[in-house]
């Protein structure tokens, strides 16, 4: 199976390039995507001088049209129009789909900073020849204060770990965690028995040239120890300020 994770940046790097990327990689079984918009024109209109005005509020539908062989599952965490989406090949048998909140609770938005809002973890369980497999998609807390540990991020990792360890099947956990690799927040996830493929494969950056700040880590892939990884890499496609992560496994 093949899984790709990508923070889409709301399409800001260019929609033609982004949609061409999905068509190019349409053989992937599952896409785990962050920063997906499904509406929200009113909010962007109010913020026309703000960077959010560059986002594509039809992104969910545009990607769906580019991936006709996939079924979309959308789980917003900001209002009802912005959040996480997973595109799953239609021939895969989905046994379960859902979400848990890993930072604050549904509906929370900081009155001081739009980016500080509730964060959820989206998951699906698919039936494979080797048994059930759960793929988790997450976009971790952004607080405008870098990607180091803080009390909220440690609690976020603990909530993720509690959910991971409650599952009996094999796990793949992917997404934009907004974390540096040397944090206790990352270590707690590793301590739950998951392999950190960013560390294992010596990845030195998960950002593209669209991202000009010095911190080059944000995105991670964690897998259960029993999963046989055939290939893992950071794809070179510059379709966001985040690089796509590619995982192929048995």
Question: What is the assigned CATH class of domain 2-249?
Answer: alpha beta
H helical segments located in the chain = 15-24, 41-46, 59-66, 151-166, 184-190, 197-200
What Cα–Cα distance (Å) separates residue 40 from each residue in 19, 58, 231? 20, 9, 37
| pLDDT, greater one: 44 or 177 | 177
Helix (H, G, I), strand (E, B) or coil at 163: helix
CA distance 127 to 132: 4
At residue 46, the pLDDT reads 62
At residue 47, the pLDDT reads 55
At residue 41, the pLDDT reads 85
Per-residue pLDDT band for 49 (boundaries 50, 70, 90) equals very low
At residue 160, the pLDDT reads 98
pLDDT at residue 45 is higher than 70: no
At residue 66, the pLDDT reads 98
pLDDT in tens, 127-166: 998 899 999 999 999 988 899 999 999 999 999 999 999 9
Per-residue pLDDT band for 52 (boundaries 50, 70, 90) equals low
pLDDT in tens, 226-247: 999 999 999 999 999 999 999 9
CA distance 9 to 35: 6
| pLDDT, greater one: 136 or 52 | 136
Name the residue ranges covered by the structural domains of the chain: 2-249
Comparing CA positions, the residue from 194, 54, 30 lying closest to residue 124 is 30
CA distance 179 to 103: 14
At residue 71, the pLDDT reads 98
Q: What is the pTM of this model?
A: 0.96
Comparing CA positions, the residue from 165, 147, 154 lying closest to residue 211 is 147
């Amino acid at each position: 199976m093949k899984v790709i994770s990508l923070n889409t940046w709301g399409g800001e790097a260019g929609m033609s390039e982004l949609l061409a990327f999905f068509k190019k990689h349409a053989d992937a079984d599952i896409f785990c995507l962050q920063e997906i918009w499904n509406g929200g024109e009113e909010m962007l209109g109010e913020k026309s001088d703000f960077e959010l005005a560059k986002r594509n509020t039809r992104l969910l539908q545009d990607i769906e049209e580019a991936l006709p062989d996939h079924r979309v599952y959308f789980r917003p965490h900001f209002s009802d129009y912005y959040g996480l989406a997973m595109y799953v090949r239609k021939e895969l048998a989905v046994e379960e789909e859902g979400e848990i909140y890993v930072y604050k609770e549904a509906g929370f938005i900081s009155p001081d900073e739009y980016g500080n809002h509730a964060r959820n973890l989206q998951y699906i369980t698919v039936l494979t020849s080797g048994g059930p497999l759960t793929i988790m998609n997450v976009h971790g807390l952004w607080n405008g204060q870098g990607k180091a540990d803080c009390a909220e991020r440690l609690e976020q990792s603990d909530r993720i770990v509690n959910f991971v360890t409650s599952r009996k099947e094999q796990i793949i956990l992917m997404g934009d965690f907004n974390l540096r690799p040397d944090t206790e927040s990352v270590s707690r996830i590793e301590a739950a028995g998951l392999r950190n493929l960013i560390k294992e494969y010596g990845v030195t950056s998960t950002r593209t040239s669209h991202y000009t700040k010095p911190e080059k880590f944000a995105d991670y892939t964690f897998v259960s120890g029993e999963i046989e990884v055939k290939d893992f890499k950071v794809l070179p496609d510059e379709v966001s300020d985040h690089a796509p992560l590619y995982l192929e496994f048995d």
